[in-house]
Amino acid sequence: MTSPISAAFPPSPSPDETPVEIVPGDPACGLLLLCDHASNALPARYGSLGLPERELQRHIGFDIGVRGLTLRLARAFGAPALLTTFSRLLIDPNRGEDDPTLVMRLSDGAIVPGNAHHDAAEREARLAAYHRPYHAAVSSAIDAAQAAGHRPAILSIHSFTPVWKGVSRPWHAGVLWDRDPRFAVPLIEALRQERDLVTGDNEPYDGALKNDCMYRHGTSRGIAHALIEVRQDLIGDEAGIDAWAARLEPMLRRIIANSPALREIRHYGSRSDDA
């Protein structure tokens, strides 16, 4: 189950080997890259979760283009990066452990037979084998950077479908955030300086999701963070990935260089806690 653009990048580890692909880097660069939905692979014992291959190649299986973009940026910055090796259909690492969408039985019109009858024991098994090791690796990377005297800003890289429920989405990219503006707002402003882009502010999704990856590792720890969403048709091949890496790199360099607050611990709370 490989992405059609995977030939340009080192092969992703199998989830049977490890749930996390770890790209080593220098924490002094000030950046930690995360890719929650990097792969559409499934452990051998789960087969295809009863889905035809064409479904796994859609956005329901993974975020198209994001592994390549993450690796390009990690290489450009010499930055550490952590990427999942398993499909979001197995279990979604960008959801809290109690989130009802953690294991999807139905995803964008596709019934997932292998998830239809999963019970609490199976949910716990997937949490233990895949979800928790990923988050433990992220926590360890943050701890190691801080121990070395380099508190990182976190950038989580995602992608979104051009059309959702028959409606075209106008944005080329969006930045999701909650209440911490230190990274997200400068990134939105930088993207909006690009006259050929339509940039969403908390579009196409809202960044305030209780216990998601950014809440867990950014908001709750007081670490500066942002989540970028790039439209999938723009990074669906090598040329698109290269173009977006080249577009984002100078923006990120300016933000990191000109924003000392990114290296501070600041607690802003979350809108999701207000409900």
Task: Flag whether pLDDT at 3 surpasses 80.
Answer: no
- When the pLDDT of each residue in the chain is averaged and rounded to a whole number, the result is 95
Would you kindly state where each structural domain of the chain is located, as residue ranges? 19-269
**pLDDT tens digits for range 134-180:** 999 999 999 999 999 999 999 999 999 999 888 999 999 999 999 99
Structure tokens at 13: 């580890």
Separation of alpha carbons 76 and 64, rounded Å: 20
- Do 33 and 157 touch, CB atoms closer than 8 A? yes
The yes-or-no verdict on residue 275 having pLDDT over 80 is: no
With 80 as the cut, is the pLDDT of residue 67 above it? Answer: yes
Tens digit of each residue's pLDDT (9 = 90 or more) over 36-47: 999 999 999 999
Task: Give yes or no for residue 6 having a pLDDT over 80.
Answer: no
* Dist. CA 132–CA 124, nearest whole Å: 10
**Could you read off the pLDDT of 79-109 as tens digits, one per residue?**
999 999 999 999 999 999 999 999 999 888 8
Q: Which pLDDT tens digit goes with each residue over 112-132?
A: 999 999 999 999 999 999 999
Chain centroid offset of residue 30 CA: 18
181-222 pLDDT, tens digit per residue, is 999 999 999 999 999 999 999 999 999 999 999 999 999 999
Distance in angstroms (rounded) separating the CA atoms of residues 269 and 220: 8
CATH superfamily for 19-269 is Zn-dependent exopeptidases (3.40.630.40)
For 214-268, how does the pLDDT look when each residue is reduced to its tens digit (9 = 90+)? 999 999 999 999 999 999 999 999 999 999 999 999 999 999 999 999 999 999 9
